[in-house]
Amino acid sequence: VLRRCQICRGEMRFSHREYAGKGSVAPVWRCTACGALARESARAAEPREAPASRRKRQLVDEGPPQNPVISPDVAAKLLRDPTPDA
Ligand SMILES: [Zn+2]
């Protein structure tokens, strides 16, 4: 069954689907003559296929996070009170 544009009675072609909320989609049709868009009433979205056999690779051998290295100089400064009383 051909859809007809309500404006110019031209032929409507399926354009895309729009998300219509609550897991439903609404097919959107486009007039091949004047380009008018017509959205159908929403209907339940098609179930998505689960991506098959695409396992995430586990990160290996990264080891524990390294501690930032503080030089003895800096450590000594940090231990001292840096704010002398005036
Ligand atoms: Zn049209």
Distance 11 CA to ligand 1 centre (A): 7
pLDDT score for 33: 97
pLDDT score for 61: 74
Which residues lie across from 29 on neighbouring strands? 14, 38
Residue whose pair of structure tokens reads 């959205």 in the numeric block: 39
Question: Global pTM?
Answer: 0.47
Percent of the chain with pLDDT over 90: 36
Give residues with Cβ within 8 angstroms of 47, minimum separation 6: none
Distance 5 CA to ligand 1 centre (A): 5
How many CB atoms neighbour CB 20 within 10 A?
Answer: 17
Q: What's the CA angle centered on 44, arms 42 and 45, to 5 degrees?
A: 105
- Give the pLDDT confidence of 52-67 residue by residue, as tens digits: 656 666 656 777 777 6
pLDDT score for 58: 61
Cβ 10 vs Cβ 26: under 8 Å:
no
